[in-house]
Amino acid sequence: DTGVSQDPRHKITKRGQNVTFRCDPISEHNRLYWYRQTLGQGPEFLTYFQNEAQLEKSRLLSDRFSAERPKGSFSTLEIQRTEQGDSAMYLCASSFRTGEGFYGYTFGSGTRLTVV
C-alpha cells in the first residue's frame, strides 16, 4: 500500500465549470475524510465517510459540493459551478477508527484547485 492517493495534483478551471477530484485511501482504513485548506490556514473539515456511508457534512459545504464513496473504496468530491472562492487545496485523509482505537489520519498530497 502506497498511502493515500489524490488525483489530479493540480486543477485550473474557469469559473462556472464543474470539477471532480478523486481520492484512493489506504485499503485497511474504514474512514475517509475531505478537508479544504487555504493559504495560511489550517485544514477545514468538509465531510467524512465510514465505509460507504457519509456520516457528516459541514455547513461550509454548499449544495454545489457533493461527495461519494461507492462501495466504501475510493471517493470523489465534485464541485459544480465553481467560484473563485473555491480556490484552495483539497485534502483527503483516511484513518482506521473503532471504539477507542484511533491513531491519527494519513493525508494525501492534496489537489490544488485554481478557479480563474
- Written as nine digits, the cell of 24 is 484512493
For residue 91, which phi and psi values (nearest 5 degrees)? -110, 135
Q: Please identify which residue in 45, 54, 74, 96 interacts with another protein, judged by CB under 8 A.
A: 45
User: Quick one: which segment of 11-19, 20-28, 76-84, 98-106 binds another protein (CB under 8 A)?
Assistant: 98-106
Neighbours of 88 (CB within 10 A): 20
State which of positions 47-66 bind another protein (CB under 8 A).
48, 55-56
Neighbours of 89 (CB within 10 A): 18
User: Quick one: which segment of 19-27, 61-69, 71-79, 102-110 binds another protein (CB under 8 A)?
Assistant: 102-110
- Residue among 30, 32, 64, 63 at smallest CA distance from 45: 32
Chain residues in the site for another protein (CB under 8 A): 4, 33, 35, 40-45, 48, 55-56, 91, 93, 97, 102-110, 112
